[in-house]
Amino acid sequence: MAVGLSDVLPPLHAVAGVRLGTTAAGIRKPGRPDLVVIELAPGSDCAAVFTRNAFCAAPVTVARRNLAARMPRYLLINTGNANAGTGAPGLRGAEECCAALAAQTGCDPSEVLPFSTGVIGEPLPVDRIVRGLPPARAALRADGWADAATGIMTTDTVPKGVTRGLRLGGHTVTVTGIAKGSGMIHPDMATMLAFVATDARVRPDLLQRCLQEAIDDSFNCITVDGDTSTNDACVLIATGAASAPPLLSEQDERYPALREAIAGVCMELAQAIVRDAEGVTKFITVDTVQGRDRDECRAVGYAVALSPLVKTAFFASDPNWGRILAAVGRSGLSGFDVDAVSVYLDEVCIVRGGGRAPDYTEERGREVMQRSEITIRIELARGHARARIWTSDFSYDYVRINAEYRT
């Protein structure tokens, strides 16, 4: 069960210039929503970030190529099949799906960006996807965000969506986003798909910069199991359908407000992915502070967040602080003074002066570990930098879900 998330999405505001349609194409399981078409108004701009996994999926290759050629009119998303590890036939399959949607809508195939998620190594069922395009297009509507959030799920237990409204220079602007992700989560950029849209008008290069900044503090700060997917993608759309004048530079006084809204949507979506991690029972924040720079703080944070021993201790609600200490110690910091480090579980100091804090008791540690949301704070006493990572515990269900994933 997801930690701190409802299985019912809050109302998601429509973004002028975006319509979404969802259908059940039978890609893997009959009757399950698994195909989404997102239509963008002419003149919309897009920015995107994709996985750095060398075995990137065919749709990632095609989407990168198409986005480099021209701005898209449609996004085509399927779940149930990742179309990864499929070689040349996988590329042809992704291209055929783009061509089919283009033929039905009158756009060029390069104006379609494909995205896939699901089982790796299986042939893409192109015929089912193509047959699903007419009903998906028939379902297109501006308020289709919630259905689309459900339609892109794989092992997710709840749909994930966030919406924000803001005023830019006297004009109302909307930012709405959806994401999927539950397992195989780790930068770059987790195992996830995320689609965020605004009706502001933003110059394309500024839009890309805004997206990268938002991702660095959100989707690239989460980990569930240390596995980076072949299919990760995050897309930021700016339709320009709001009446606000275009944003052309970072010096525009309106830009910080829009950047903050987009970053906030990405942050909530990223945290929702960890809160819905496979088999999750604990949502864990690893807050590393007083480092020399952000990179070393992240190194320490990830050493703790990725440790199976730490994660299983949290599942057991066992305040086994030695596991945390060991993970911090192997993080690779140079000139590391272990006697200067302090470690906290929420408000309880567990490590100080190179060992167990003198005032720490197992009873206090156990009380914190019973909570469903816990912060590990690591004070390095080396500087003023900090980094925050979000992770989950490892439960029996994580093993079961992944052991049974293809059955």
Active site residues: 191
Distance of CA 277 to the CA centre of its chain: 11
Cα 308 to Cα 253, 315, 355, distances in angstroms: 45, 10, 22
Taking CA 180 as the corner, what is the angle to CA 18 and CA 301, rounded to the nearest 5 degrees? 125
- For residues 132-165, b (16+ Cβ closer than 10 Å) or e, as one string? bbeebbebbeeebbbbbbbbbbbbbbbbbbbbbe
- Rounded distance between C-alpha atoms, residue 227 and residue 183, angstroms: 8
Full 3-state SS string of 215-237: HHCCHHHECCCCCCCCCCEEEEE
Q: Extract the tokens encoding 313.
A: 């201790």
Region for 73 from its dihedrals, namely left if φ exceeds 0, alpha if ψ lies in -120 to 50, beta otherwise:
alpha
Any idea which residue has 């998620």 for tokens? 117
Residues 188 and 216: their CA atoms lie apart, in Å, by 10
